[in-house]
Amino acid sequence: MNKLFRSRNSVRYLSILIIVVMIFTGVTGCRKKDTVSKAESSSRPESTTSFVGSESIDSNSETVYSSEDTSADSTDDYNSTIAGDDSQTTSGKWINPNGKRNRPQIKVTQVVNKNGKRYIERLGLPYLIYGVQITTLDRFASPTEKQEEEFYEKAAEINFKTVLKAITWTSVEPEENKYNMYPVQQMLSNAYKYNLQVEMLWFGGNVCGSTKRAPKYIRENSTRFPMKDSRDFDYSNAELIKRECAALKTVMEYIYDNDPERRLTVVQVNNETNAGSPFIVQKDAYLNYLNQLGLTVKNSPQSVVTRVNMVTRTTDLKEDYTLAGDILRLDGIDIVGPDLYARNLEYYSNYIERYSTGDLAENIPHVAEAPGQMDNYPKQVLNAFSLDAGYDVYELKAFGSAGADFGIFRYDADKWIKRDGKKKVYYQWDKVVKVNENVTDDIIVLNKMIAGVAEQIASCPNGNFKMIFRRQSDYIGEQKITFVTYEEVTANRVGAAFLAADGYYYMFTPAGEGYFRFDNKTLTDSASVGFYEGGEWKETDTAPVEDGNKINVKKGFVYRIMSSQIK
């Protein structure tokens, strides 16, 4: 009897144990299912990295994982299969539920045509092409984390809202199919910390005619990845294209997962790719190579505008323009811009005009690189805006070695030294001719004014932005406007006036004090002084009208007046 009792109790206890296990398994199974469902159904998944204040790097600070075939996928639901068991980080496993993540595509930036103007929109708002390149790449030396961060910090301090940052193929895929996302994470972390947007420069299989930014496993396997000549890969090689597209796709997926505010705005595909011979000896193959890389970005979950920058030459200009047109016609490339290193405004104007007409009429004209050290920097920027073009600057400060000292700041290995206009600097790579350097404080003031009306400049209808020289006049439509400055010494004695799509006239100057005069018209009310923040105009002061049509202005402030106030 006792034996039977013990047997029945054992069965009872075993049954209870089984029920407990089943309940626990069921609950955890439901939770896991809920988690997967949430991850797959959300159009904006939670970031795996928290970008809050200085706490910008989580425990997975160096994301290194292996991936299966990651060639570009054109579907909107951009499902990526990742080998979870092999996906390693330095601090443990990087786990994706069921080995895949649903990433519904978000078009962060795209080219639009509104009010007679082609420009970029970011999340539905106008985006101005105006940023500075931060060159901490291993061009001369490898930066420390502190040095890297300082470049973002300084860019923000001098009122830039966008930085351009190079990410090399070899840094994110040091071994085949083994990806290191730390350089990308560092870029995002610093951008969030200093409230900046980012144009990523993808330095892959052709950078200034060189293949050295490709991973070692690519460069050292000439059987699998043959060279066409001593400098260039054979860009008809499907395996080469597949490997580079896989790396770029992995980067874009990581950005999607870790950029919840969508700060990445543009991806440049390689750099000055017309510097070498690919377009001469394998043009069709190379165009296809560029197109596949561009499509990888545009079909990625975080779709952004793509561009190609062109090195400029004094000969074969017609060939360069024809080639730029061929590139612009690619489905994977949105815009094309020249790198211009000169001081003469006419030189810039001619290039910008050519990059917006003929075969390039559908382009958004912009200067993809321009030196930052020259004394007429403000005039160069405003001249570009007056030609309905964007303007990106090379560079904030030279890193690792003086090299070509094109920085807004003077070159110094350790310190950040503002330029004061008292030194002579080279303005081209050949280091033949010297010109006066900029005044960094003037650029800081210029950037502040531009940042206050950046969206209005970006969407300003063609022909409505005017850079007006001292004591001269220009027309915006039928309205004649005269600018006068009392400044006598600066190289930038100009004013900027434009009629935006919102119906307001905006005015500012980088040159001391002066006034804008609306000739043959009467202004019925004072001008508002202020800036835009969060899409709203923040008025800080008013400027009275003198003599019925004149508004006195000071450097560092933006003035606006409604067109209906002009009679």
In this structure, what token pair is assigned to residue 313?
């030459």
Distance CA 475, CA 477 (A): 6
395 upstream amide cis, omega within 30 of 0 = yes
Nearest C-alpha neighbor of 203 from the set 104, 309, 97, 108: 309
Distance CA 269, CA 104 (A): 23
Distance CA 364, CA 336 (A): 8
Statement: the pTM of the whole predicted model exceeds 0.85: no
How many angstroms separate the Cα of 32 from the Cα of each of 22, 35, 38, 60, 97? 15, 5, 10, 21, 8
- Nearest 5 degrees, angle CA 379-CA 158-CA 376? 20
HSE, CB side, 13 Å, CA atoms: give it for residue 556.
9
Do 202 and 268 meet the contact criterion of CB atoms below 8 Å apart? yes
Distance CA 369, CA 310 (A): 9
- Maximal C-alpha separation, the chain: 118
From first to last of its 567 residues, the chain has per-residue pLDDT tens of 443 334 444 444 444 444 433 433 333 333 222 322 322 233 333 333 333 222 233 323 344 444 443 333 333 333 332 222 233 332 223 333 334 578 999 999 999 999 889 999 999 999 999 999 997 664 445 788 998 999 999 999 999 999 999 999 999 999 999 999 999 999 999 999 999 999 999 999 999 888 999 999 999 999 999 999 878 999 999 999 999 999 999 999 999 999 999 999 999 999 998 887 778 889 999 999 999 999 999 999 999 999 999 988 655 566 788 899 999 999 999 999 999 988 889 999 999 999 999 999 999 999 999 999 999 999 999 999 999 999 999 999 987 554 578 999 998 888 999 999 999 988 777 777 888 999 999 999 999 999 999 999 999 999 999 999 999 999 998 899 999 999 876 778 999 999 999 999 999 999 989 999 999 889 999 999 999 999 999 999 999 999 999 999 999 999 999 998 888
Dump the DSSP string for 404-463. S---SEEP-SS--EE-BS-SEEE-STT---EEEB-BHHHHHHHHHHHHHTHHHHHTPPTT
Dump the DSSP string for 230-299. SS-B-TT-HHHHHHHHHHHHHHHHHHHHH-TT--EEEEEEEE-TTSSSHHHHSHHHHHHHHHHHHHHHHT
Provide the 10 A C-beta neighbour count for residue 460.
Answer: 27
Burial of 305 (0-12, 13-18, 19+ CB in 10 A): buried
Q: Which residue has the tokens 């600057």?
A: 393
Nearest C-alpha neighbor of 473 from the set 497, 450, 489, 506: 497
- Nearest 5 degrees, angle CA 392-CA 337-CA 229? 115
Q: How far apart are the first and last CA of the chain?
A: 112
- Nearest 5 degrees, angle CA 512-CA 515-CA 518? 155
User: What 3-state class would DSSP assign to 115?
Assistant: coil
Residue burial 435-455, b: 16+ Cβ < 10 Å; e: rest = bbbbbbebbbbbbbbbbbbbb
In this structure, what token pair is assigned to residue 24?
């626990």
